[in-house]
């Protein structure tokens, strides 16, 4: 199982610039994308894989105090191959108002094949997504 972490620092002289291409992750069964990454790259493509009967876990930075939230249920292209089994918000380890937390989805592999999973970050009253994660999941 792999876990992705982004580590970096920013000084006045090295202000980060958004990437010109989507960020990609390949072959992981556990992916974590912090909220700071979405501020630089709002649309992200992820490639994940697991074995039949295995699970995929994706953790995305989230700050519901802004009025935005990730979709409760993922859009799955073929629910006979993979099924969402849980989704939960995990709050920050601080009481400071406005501090972001994370949302965690777990998917169960039911059949061999490849599916796409879409998660969008939006305000319910606007309908338009601010951020999106497109996952291509292969079950071996």
pTM of the model: 0.77
Residue 15 has pLDDT above 50, yes or no: no
State both tokens at 10: 């920013």
> d(Cα 55, Cα 63) in Å, to the nearest integer?
25
Least confident of 15-24, 43-52, 70-79, 112-121: 15-24
Q: How many residues does the chain have?
A: 140
53-102 per-position pLDDT tens digit: 999 999 999 998 888 889 999 999 999 999 999 999 998 888 888 889 99
- 23 pLDDT band (50/70/90 cuts)? very low
Q: CA 119 to CA 50: how far, in whole Å?
A: 19
CA dihedral 34, 37, 43, 45 (to 10 degrees): -70
24-91+101-139 is classed in which CATH architecture?
Sandwich (2.60)
Domain ranges of the chain: 24-91+101-139
DSSP annotation string for 33-60: E-HHHHHH-SEEEEEEEE-TT-EEEEEE
Number of continuous H segments (helices) and E segments (strands) in the chain: 1, 10
């Amino acid at each position: 199982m792999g876990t992705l972490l982004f580590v970096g620092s920013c000084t006045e002289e090295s202000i980060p610039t958004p990437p010109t291409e989507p960020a990609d992750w390949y072959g992981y069964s556990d992916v974590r994308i912090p909220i700071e990454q979405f501020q630089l790259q709002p649309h992200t493509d992820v490639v994940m894989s697991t074995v039949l009967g295995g699970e995929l876990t994706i953790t995305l930075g989230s700050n519901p105090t802004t009025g935005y939230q990730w979709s409760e249920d993922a859009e799955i292209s073929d629910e006979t191959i993979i099924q969402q089994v849980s989704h939960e918000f995990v709050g920050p380890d601080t009481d400071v108002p406005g501090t972001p937390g994370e949302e965690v989805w777990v998917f169960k592999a039911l059949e061999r094949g490849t599916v796409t999973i879409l998660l969008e970050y939006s305000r319910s009253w606007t309908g338009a997504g601010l951020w999106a994660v497109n996952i291509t999941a292969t079950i071996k």
